[in-house]
Amino acid sequence: MLDVNVTRKLHEERFGLKPRVFAAPGRVNIIGEHTDYADGFVMPAAIDFATFAAISAHDDGRIEVRSENYHDEVAYELSGLPERRIGHWSDYPLGVISVLREDGVEVPAFSLTLHGDVPVGAGLSSSAAVEVSTMAAVLSLTDARIPLPRMAQMCRRAENGYVGASTGIMDQFIACCGAENHALLLDCRSLEYRLAPIPPDVRLVIANTMVKHSHAGGEYNTRRAEVEEGTEILRRHRPEIRKLRDATMADLERWGNEMPPGVLKRTRHVITENARTVAAADALECGDLETLGQLMYAAHVSYRDDFEASCHEADVMVELASKEEGCIGARLTGGGFGGCTVNLVKAACARQFSVNLYKRYREVTGIDADVYLCHASAGAHEVDL
Ligand code: GLA
């Protein structure tokens, strides 16, 4: 975990002013993949990797944004901010400023230092952590009072519109509304959510395959387009199907033959994943860890075979995990095509599990994986002195 005092000090040294500091976490998704933009259900947890946004106001009409991770800095006149992405890390904070202004928030001049330890390209939502921490920090300089769920929607707009990745609401929502020691079941249509406690004798172990993934462009957007295509075909028969959330397996059995084979599989994944996610939340709430674990394994198979968003390394990682003592469930988490697996592990076995998983994965793939023993953490907040 990063030390917030280091971030404060770096900010003071660079900008000569004492900052206020806001934190937003990364996340791991326990179950519910590519269901958010289908208005379905997801069940992520915020984790103890975060981005700190240290901010101080000044009055020279400029904004300065420094990234301690990239050792780089940008500065603009408030009147001359770029209107769209320039393909740079600063797209994320600048996208947030753009959305705030669109919504009528008067953004003042400021200096901002971003400093985080959410692994980048690992499927743990480092970008949402940057967006949400930036928004919380900038809002602290204004009179605007924006509730957390709306902040999540605004940060998503920054990512969709400004940065150009057509992601759903999950990552920004959990970065805003996550709670210590809880998973969050989110209805991505109504944005109603329930917090389900993670039992104290269970650990979240995140295993990084070290295969990088990226959202901006690429396969994520292709998959999303296929899901839209499947939805459109079903909608022709049942116009009340606005999103796949409204479709059932019976619909698919009836009209799936009109879909190209790939589209049929993507559609099937989303419909079955929604059902698994709701069942998983019930299982977690009843303390039925065995059912929860089975649902996670089934979700991985569906992600691998129907959504075709896994990769060889992730399949190996899940398979190896499933053989280890104390493993309740394992699957590839996040947008897909690399990144991390999430493992629910009995606390008493978690250390040995992590050591063994690292070793076995190295034997099979030759890759040194990062394995993180995490715990579910709080959403966006100000870090007190
Ligand atoms: C990424 C996106 C999310 C979600 C997941 C897949 O993390 O940002 O909105 O679609 O992929 O579940």
Q: What is the pLDDT along the chain (385 residues), one digit of tens a residue?
A: 889 999 999 999 999 999 999 999 999 999 999 999 999 999 999 999 999 999 999 989 999 999 999 999 999 999 999 989 999 999 999 999 999 999 999 999 999 999 999 998 899 999 999 999 999 999 999 999 999 999 999 999 999 999 988 899 999 999 999 999 999 999 999 999 999 999 999 999 999 999 987 554 578 889 999 999 999 999 999 999 999 999 999 999 999 999 999 999 999 999 999 999 999 999 999 999 999 999 999 999 999 999 999 999 999 999 999 999 999 999 999 999 999 999 999 999 999 999 999 999 999 999 999 999 999 999 999 998 7
**DSSP structure class, residue 126:** H
131 lines ligand 1 (CB under 6 A): no
Place of tokens 């079941």: 185
The Cβ of residue 232 has, within 10 Å, a number of other Cβ atoms equal to 12
**Contact 81/97 with Cβ under 8 angstroms?**
yes
For the whole prediction, is pTM greater than 0.85?
yes
Q: Which residue has the tokens 């022709």?
A: 236
CB neighbour class for 201 (10 Å; exposed up to 12, middle 13-18, buried from 19): exposed
- The protein residue whose alpha carbon is closest to atom 1 in ligand 1 is 335
Q: Active-site residues: which are they?
A: 171
Q: How many other C-beta atoms can be found within 10 angstroms of the C-beta atom of residue 161?
A: 16
What is the token pair recorded at 6? 């280091």
User: Is 168 touching ligand 1 by the criterion CB < 6 Å?
Assistant: yes
∠ CA 206-209-213, nearest 5°, is: 100
Report residue 327 as tokens.
């493993």
* Alpha carbon nearest to ligand 1 atom 11, residue: 335
Cβ atoms of 343 and 327 closer than 8 Å: yes
On whether the CB atoms of residues 208 and 370 are closer than 8 A, the answer is: yes
Which residues are paired to 203 by β-bridges?
A: 345
Provide φ and ψ at 223, rounded to 5°.
-60, -40
CB 29 within 8 A of CB 40: no
Tell me 169's DSSP state: S
Tell me the HSE value of 10 on the side-chain side, using a 13 A CA sphere.
23
Which atom of ligand 1 is nearest the CA belonging to 127?
8
Give SS3 for 21: strand
Q: Can you say whether residue 181 is alpha, beta or left, with left for phi > 0 and alpha for psi between -120 and 50 degrees? A: left
What does each C-alpha distance from 276 to 216, 224, 348 come to in angstroms?
A: 28, 20, 27
Residue nearest atom 5 in ligand 1 by C-alpha distance: 335
Amino acid symbol at 17? L
